[in-house]
Amino acid sequence: MSTGNMNLTLQVWRQKNSKSAGKLVDYKLSDISPDMSFLEMFDVLNEQLITKGEEPVVFDHDCREGICGMCSMFINGQPHGPKDLVTTCQLHMRSFKDGDTIVVEPWRAKAFPVIKDLAVDRSAFDRVIAAGGFVSVNTGNAQDANNLPIPKSKADAAFEAAACIGCGACVATCKNASAMLFVSAKISQLALLPQGQPERYRRVQSMVAQMDEEGFGNCTNTGACEAECPKGISLENIARMNRDYLSAKFISEEEV
Amino acid sequence: MSKLNSNIPAGELTQKWTKYKSSVPLVNPANKRSLEVIVVGSGLAGASAAATLAEMGYKVKCFCFQDSPRRAHSIAAQGGINAAKNYQNDGDSTYRLFYDTIKGGDYRAREANVHRLAEVSANIIDQCVAQGVPLAREYGGLLDNRSFGGTQVQRTFYAAGQTGQQLLLGAYSALERQVGMGKVQMYTRHEMLDVVVIDGKARGIIARNLITGELERHFGHAVVLGTGGYGNVFYLSTNAMGSNVTAAWKVHKKGAFFANPCYTQIHPTCIPVSGDHQSKLTLMSESLRNDGRIWVPKKKDDPRKPSDIPEDERDYYLERRYPAFGNLVPRDVASRAAKERCDAGYGVGASKLAVYLDFKANTERYGRIEASKAGNHNPDKETCMRLGTAVIKEKYGNLFDMYAQITGENPYETPMRIYPAVHYTMGGVWVDYDLMTTIPGLYCTGEANFSDHGANRLGASALMQGLADGYFVLPYTIGSYLSKEIATKPIPTDHPAFVEAENEVKATIDKFLSINGTKSVDHFHKRLGHIMWEKCGMARNREGLTQAIKEIQDLRKEFWADVKVPGSADEFNPELEKAHRVADFIELGELMCIDALNREESCGGHFREEHQTEEGEAKRDDENFAYVAAWEYKGVSEFELHKEELNYENIKVAQRNYK
């Protein structure tokens, strides 16, 4: 079971650093098992490269169970590859066929510069969160949690938005490199909950401003982000964010 | 022994923390602004500490090796977080959570620390809900709970199978809020490679910028580690690929004692190994044991599909052996029971190293309830299964999807196959009641320290401890130290101690790159993992451990002679990062075996085959081993044992009984 019989051709983006130009390089792999994850297939490639004295391919990854949001490959033109609702680390080689050629590129967006090979800099997302993706409550001030009943439907909807893993697939797949799905998911989570109300309109304004400053594009409602999101984050969040953003404009300064 | 003082406050157990808080020295706001604290790690323990310290007014620098603090492996915790809220009115209390945790830890944890943990557990839930963490709720709008192993109450709060994610994102948002205000300076893609000690006190760190390769010196009046556990010493574990012991090991080599390294938790319900290519193992949350029943066929090597094996030919061995707790026995007990069945030849699946986790009975039961709610009091089986599957899907959908994705099987139709895997490490850097290590000014929180779980951690207690340490304990206790540091001016980083520490790190990096051997870092890591799993895993014995120590020493020599680290020091070089981590894992692995060999008893996750009851349960030796084994680094392969006696004044020590 350990070794398989798939033979593959990989075309992998190699780029020395953020300043150099990159290119696609071909690699042949054999004896790949369909039970391997896509990243384990890359482990095999890297082991071979190291043994041959070449530099292994740099790619981001950590938990390998689809929750940390660190892995980020653009596979055959799709972020996280061909399967719906999975990250690259949860994509298995049984989703490919013997003899396939697979093209692997980094996320491509102005706001996500390539660091090396397939790894990109997504710190723009942290700065968007730092601009307002929180409830301003210091440690030690909280009332008893059950003093604030929240309807199950609201709590569930907030959870669904909060399930975003911040991987950036939405940006990578968007022709405008828009971060609206990511930003709106956080805004929605907090807008749906009573805890988020006091800062609701201030939050949407400052997060959107930061999003624009980072160089993300605008949303033209093509819906690619929702289709490619490994966690199924809904476009409804973008509608909610736009509604709140618009409302914020009509609310007097003091209320925001 | 004189070197270890746990600094547990005097007085009655339930009053210790309250009295401590009202008597601990304070630091006034103006002084806080000039005191700098370094926090290494941005998981639940690190992020919550960094955010809270900054809220209090300290100047904070926070470091993580990932590209964002939100990636820390706390994010992957699935099942839940315990808190003594008694929302279910099932008799829970601070004392019961305290008692369950001490008993679950097989009477090898400190009473005072664990009681404090139970006391602050309720505050954690309040804090997280105030931050907007969407924990699961009932239709009435109040918080929902579920059961976890080793308890008879429902005190576990959760967010589907993604509790760690939601709690971490709460702490992350609190941290980013402070970053936005300029009160925390965040250093992502930075790895701590040494601690700087000046005049016996921790005064800073050497960190490597992982993108540029530059070595940086950072001063702090105090340094806090929240760097997680060392389960990856086994190569295959449920930890993230980057989880490592390096920060903890570096401070150990600079003087911090390392406690109970042999206490490792093997989680009973993980997806079994499928082949040599495997890079990590995936947990199936303990919460599944609420509704999943564990069994193997009564017949050895039964070739039938699980669905073709009739009820009376199945051995629900946990329900058989432990009727009072059934499928919800603690993790160490459940893991050993699975190993026992598989070793005896009753394992299932291609490797025969797996048991079934079967949801059918409870799916049908839920279906019956749902049908009844809809007015159908006599539903057929098919209706029950259809309605019940929807309930199961809502509770555990993401876990079932993950299982299907990894194995290619549909767990709604066929039972899951599961087997134990390395999951958590109870051992870690020794700390006193203040969470301070044996190096003054150096603190350790969360999984990285040894403090609260004894020899076995109960489910849903890691998230509790990480957040307790970071939000509610360390921010108080660190004041006791920093209040005496208000006159200390920031030490310039051209101080000889910084220069020397940086040179040492640089020399190690140069060494790695100059070996130019024939085998990759992963090659050595896999071999180390194999030794550890076979000889220092679920069951250990004197002979195996003695062999393992020798094998690890040989492996270390081979590593330093034949490892191949490609690339250079001044660039993004993940192989170089791994080389540091694996070099430290090799040294730690040796200490784990030494500790396991020293502990001539079985307790919790540490099972010595020589010490078991007639029924195969762990047999403690309270007379000789009711102590914390804290090891002092004395040089390569040389460690000196210090003992901290454990005194139980409030709990009667007994053999654990889950029957």
CA distance linking residue A114 with residue A19, whole number of Å: 9
Listed in sequence order, the residues at least 6 apart from B358 whose beta carbon sits closer than 8 Å to its beta carbon are B292, B293, B294, B295, B306, B415, B416
CA distance linking residue B406 with residue B416, whole number of Å: 12
CATH of domain A123-139+147-250: 1.10.1060.10
**Distance (Å) from the C-alpha of residue B267 to the closest C-alpha of chain A?**
16
pLDDT of residue A253: 64
Contacts of A58 in chain B (CB under 8 A): 572, 574
Query: Is residue B461 domain-resident?
Result: no
Question: Once rounded to an integer, what is the mean pLDDT over residues A99-105?
Answer: 98
Centre a 10 Å sphere on the Cβ of residue A214 and count the other Cβ atoms it contains.
19
Mutate which of B279, B398, B512 to test chain A, going by most A C-beta atoms within 10 A? B279
Q: Are strands B416-425 and B428-429 parallel, antiparallel or unpaired?
A: unpaired
Contacts of A163 in chain B (CB under 8 A): 162, 165
Across the interface, whether the CB atoms of A143 and B123 are under 8 A apart is answered no
**Distance (Å) from the C-alpha of residue B371 to the closest C-alpha of chain A?**
21
- pLDDT-derived band at A1, boundaries 50, 70, 90: very low
Residues A101, A9: contact at Cβ < 8 Å? yes
Q: Which ranges constitute the DSSP H helices of A15-87?
A: 38-51
CATH of domain A6-116: 3.10.20.30
Contacts of B64 in chain A (CB under 8 A): none
Chain A with chain B: Cβ pairs closer than 8 A:
233
CA distance linking residue A192 with residue B73, whole number of Å: 27
Query: Is residue B125 domain-resident?
Result: no
Residues 220-249 of A with CB under 8 A from B: none
CA distance linking residue B250 with residue A154, whole number of Å: 47
Residues A25, A11: contact at Cβ < 8 Å? yes
CATH number at residue B395: 3.90.700.10
* Low-confidence spans in chain B with pLDDT less than 50: 1
Phi, psi of B355 (to 5 degrees): -130, 165
Residues 369-428 of B with CB under 8 A from A: 401-402, 405-406, 408
ipTM above 0.95, yes or no: yes
Listed in sequence order, the residues at least 6 apart from B18 whose beta carbon sits closer than 8 Å to its beta carbon are none
Residues 310-349 of B with CB under 8 A from A: none
- pLDDT-derived band at A104, boundaries 50, 70, 90: very high
- The first and second tokens of residue A89, run together, are 């680390």
CB contact, 8 Å: A98 with chain B?
A: no
Dihedral (Cα; B286, B290, B292, B297), 10-degree rounding: 90
Centre a 10 Å sphere on the Cβ of residue B10 and count the other Cβ atoms it contains.
7
Query: Is residue B441 domain-resident?
Result: no
Coil, strand or helix at A73: coil
Contacts of A137 in chain B (CB under 8 A): 127, 130-131
Q: Which residues of B are catalytic?
A: 331
> Residue B572's closest chain A neighbor by CA?
A116
CA distance linking residue A6 with residue A28, whole number of Å: 11
Q: For B544, what's the count of Cα atoms within 13 Å in the CB-facing half-sphere?
A: 18
- Looking at the predicted structure, is the pLDDT value of residue A252 above 90? no
Of the partner residues B134, B241, B520, the one whose CB lies closest to the CB of residue A189: B134
CA distance linking residue B531 with residue B535, whole number of Å: 6
Across the interface, whether the CB atoms of B240 and A63 are under 8 A apart is answered yes
> Residue B187's closest chain A neighbor by CA?
A123
- The first and second tokens of residue A113, run together, are 């510069």
**Is residue A245 exposed (0-12), middle (13-18) or buried (19+ Cβ within 10 Å)?**
middle
CB contact, 8 Å: A252 with chain B?
A: no
- Looking at the predicted structure, is the pLDDT value of residue A2 above 60? no
pLDDT tens readout for residues B42-60? 999 999 999 999 999 999 9
Nearest Cα residue to B366 out of B470, B477, B291: B291
Q: Give the sheet arrangement for strand B627-635, strand by strand.
A: B428-429, B258-259, B627-635, B638-645
DSSP B288-348: GGGT-EEEEESSTT--S-GGGS-GGGEE-HHHHH-TTTGGGS-HHHHHHHHHHHHHTT---
Q: For B311, what's the count of Cα atoms within 13 Å in the CB-facing half-sphere?
A: 2
pLDDT of residue A76: 98
Q: How many domains is chain B partitioned into structurally?
A: 2
Query: Is residue B366 domain-resident?
Result: yes
Residues A65, B76: contact at Cβ < 8 Å? yes
Of the partner residues B72, B176, B520, the one whose CB lies closest to the CB of residue A130: B176
CB contact, 8 Å: A131 with chain B?
A: yes
Centre a 10 Å sphere on the Cβ of residue B598 and count the other Cβ atoms it contains.
14
Mutate which of B186, B405, B417, B578 to test chain A, going by most A C-beta atoms within 10 A? B405
Of the partner residues B52, B135, B240, the one whose CB lies closest to the CB of residue A62: B240
DSSP B238-272: SS-TT--SHHHHHHHHTT--EE-TT-EEEEEEEPP
Across the interface, whether the CB atoms of B66 and A62 are under 8 A apart is answered yes
Co-location of B509 and B410 in the same domain: no
Across the interface, whether the CB atoms of B166 and A86 are under 8 A apart is answered no
Listed in sequence order, the residues at least 6 apart from A224 whose beta carbon sits closer than 8 Å to its beta carbon are A173, A174, A175
CA distance linking residue A118 with residue A13, whole number of Å: 7
Across the interface, whether the CB atoms of A140 and B180 are under 8 A apart is answered no
Amino acid at B80: G
The domain of B414 spans: 267-422
**Is residue B511 exposed (0-12), middle (13-18) or buried (19+ Cβ within 10 Å)?**
middle
Query: Is residue B576 domain-resident?
Result: yes
Of the partner residues B137, B278, B564, the one whose CB lies closest to the CB of residue A50: B564
Listed in sequence order, the residues at least 6 apart from B301 whose beta carbon sits closer than 8 Å to its beta carbon are B345, B352
Amino acid at B571: E
Query: Is residue B556 domain-resident?
Result: yes
Across the interface, whether the CB atoms of B176 and A129 are under 8 A apart is answered yes
Contacts of A49 in chain B (CB under 8 A): 566
Q: Are strands B215-219 and B201-209 parallel, antiparallel or unpaired?
A: antiparallel
**Distance (Å) from the C-alpha of residue B569 to the closest C-alpha of chain A?**
13
CA distance linking residue B545 with residue B531, whole number of Å: 9
Q: What's the alpha-carbon Rg for chain B, to the nearest Å?
A: 24
CB contact, 8 Å: A123 with chain B?
A: yes
**Is residue B118 exposed (0-12), middle (13-18) or buried (19+ Cβ within 10 Å)?**
buried
Across the interface, whether the CB atoms of B66 and A17 are under 8 A apart is answered no
Of the partner residues A43, A44, A158, the one whose CB lies closest to the CB of residue B134: A158
Across the interface, whether the CB atoms of A145 and B125 are under 8 A apart is answered yes
> Residue B74's closest chain A neighbor by CA?
A68
Q: In B376-390, which positions are buried (b, 16+ CB within 10 angstroms) versus exposed (e)? A: eeebeeebbbebbbe
Mutate which of A29, A54, A61, A62 to test chain B, going by most B C-beta atoms within 10 A? A62
**Distance (Å) from the C-alpha of residue A152 to the closest C-alpha of chain B?**
5
Across the interface, whether the CB atoms of B71 and A69 are under 8 A apart is answered yes
Co-location of B301 and B415 in the same domain: yes
CB contact, 8 Å: B43 with chain A?
A: no
Residues A113, A120: contact at Cβ < 8 Å? yes
pLDDT tens readout for residues A131-188? 999 999 999 989 999 999 999 999 999 999 999 999 999 999 999 999 999 999 999 9
CB contact, 8 Å: B152 with chain A?
A: no
**Distance (Å) from the C-alpha of residue B610 to the closest C-alpha of chain A?**
34
- The first and second tokens of residue B521, run together, are 């870092």
Across the interface, whether the CB atoms of A67 and B66 are under 8 A apart is answered no
Q: What angle do CA B275, B281, B285 make, to 5 degrees?
A: 135
Q: Residue by residue, what is the 3-state secondary structure of B370-417?
A: HHHHCCCCCCCHHHHHHHHHHHHHHHHHHHHHHHHHHHCCCCCCCCEE
Query: Is residue B370 domain-resident?
Result: yes
Domain segments of chain A as ranges: 6-116, 123-139+147-250
Query: Is residue B220 domain-resident?
Result: no
Centre a 10 Å sphere on the Cβ of residue A28 and count the other Cβ atoms it contains.
10
CA distance linking residue A154 with residue A173, whole number of Å: 29
Across the interface, whether the CB atoms of A94 and B408 are under 8 A apart is answered yes
CA distance linking residue A164 with residue B230, whole number of Å: 28
Residues 174-213 of A with CB under 8 A from B: 189-190, 193, 195-196
Under DSSP, the state recorded for B459 is T
CATH number at residue B548: 1.20.58.100
CB contact, 8 Å: B566 with chain A?
A: yes
To the nearest 10 degrees (0 to 180), the angle between helices B542-562 and B521-535 is 170
Tell me the β-bridge partners of B629. Answer: B643
